[in-house]
Structure 1
């Protein structure tokens, strides 16, 4: 993974990144389409050093990612300047499991599906036959935490 080169003084540690991604609920996923960038919000699970996304298999996002698996994802929080913090993850997504997901046993999905269900549906894993799983193992992570900026 590429190391963050800029703003290292306000970068999160790996433990802080893990905690942040485990507590936040929404990410913004940027893909490239023939018409230019396409950005959409999604729920996600951070599990095993990867960002797990569940996407409608019949969507512009899915079409974009099957054509070009490169993606940038931002998870951020804060309202006031001194509270802003976030993580940008870049890399390529991989499809994991059947498309769409109907429940075929896939060992790789046991952890992410349960983490997602615990976060969003009270622990019940739902499979609607319309969504499928994408795994982003980041090639680069950039983070920032403005709370680390010294106050005068």
Structure 2
């Protein structure tokens, strides 16, 4: 199922839901997501992360010695929220629920990895403005496969959509 199909399936709040193109643009411009995992005792763990959206997957560059990593090794379910706006009428965001898969070395080494080249280049450009990703030996890549995508853009209330 494509992200566009998932966005169209959103039932509640259709009047303020983003189009697939709006979701792509929003996720390309926003810098921080909040990733929620399930702890061993069932309690949630939420932490901010930088991310890359490639139009199909959310890519997270996560510290491998973190609560998030431990949680996801045990249970690959995740929810990721990206939101923006200061005033109530300007709030907008995207929630993606899905599962993660580790891609590449753990932790990420310095050897080239064709499966990560595009993601790492996009990450470097987004967060450093450079065309070079530098692995630090503490992080690795998690690929989130969306199972559902919900979005909201309260600015659409003002436009009468």
Question: Residues 96 and 135 of structure 1 are in contact (CA less than 8 Å); yes or no, is this contact kept in structure 2?
Answer: yes
Moved segments of 4+, more than 3 Å: none
Is 2:21 aligned against 1:20? no
The farther-off stretch of 72-81 and 101-110 is 101-110
State the shift of 1:61 in Å.
0.4
Question: Residues 98 and 104 of structure 1 are in contact (CA less than 8 Å); yes or no, is this contact kept in structure 2?
Answer: no
User: Helix, strand or coil for the counterpart of 1:126?
Assistant: coil
User: In the aligned structure 1, how far is the partner of 2:106 from the partner of 2:149?
Assistant: 28
User: Helix, strand or coil for the counterpart of 1:107?
Assistant: coil
Which digits, 9 at most, give the CA deviation of each residue in 1:83-122, with x for residues without a partner?
0000000000010001000133322211110000001122
Question: Residues 17 and 150 of structure 2 are in contact (CA less than 8 Å); yes or no, is this contact kept in structure 1?
Answer: yes
Q: Please provide the CA RMSD for this pair.
A: 1.4
User: In the aligned structure 1, how far is the partner of 2:111 from the partner of 2:149?
Assistant: 32
Structure 2 stretches lacking a partner, 5+ long: none
Aligned counterpart, 2:51 = 44
Structure 1 stretches lacking a partner, 5+ long: none
User: In the aligned structure 2, how far is the partner of 1:5 from the partner of 1:107?
Assistant: 38
User: In the aligned structure 2, how far is the partner of 1:115 from the partner of 1:139?
Assistant: 23
User: Helix, strand or coil for the counterpart of 2:123?
Assistant: helix
Question: Residues 50 and 135 of structure 1 are in contact (CA less than 8 Å); yes or no, is this contact kept in structure 2?
Answer: yes
Q: Which one of 114, 118, 143 corresponds to residue 135 of structure 1? A: 143
Matches within 5 A, 1:1-152: 1=1, 2=6, 3-35=9-41, 36-123=43-130, 124-150=132-158
Question: Residues 24 and 55 of structure 2 are in contact (CA less than 8 Å); yes or no, is this contact kept in structure 1?
Answer: no
State the shift of 1:150 in Å.
4.1
State the shift of 1:34 in Å.
1.8
Equivalenced residues, count: 152
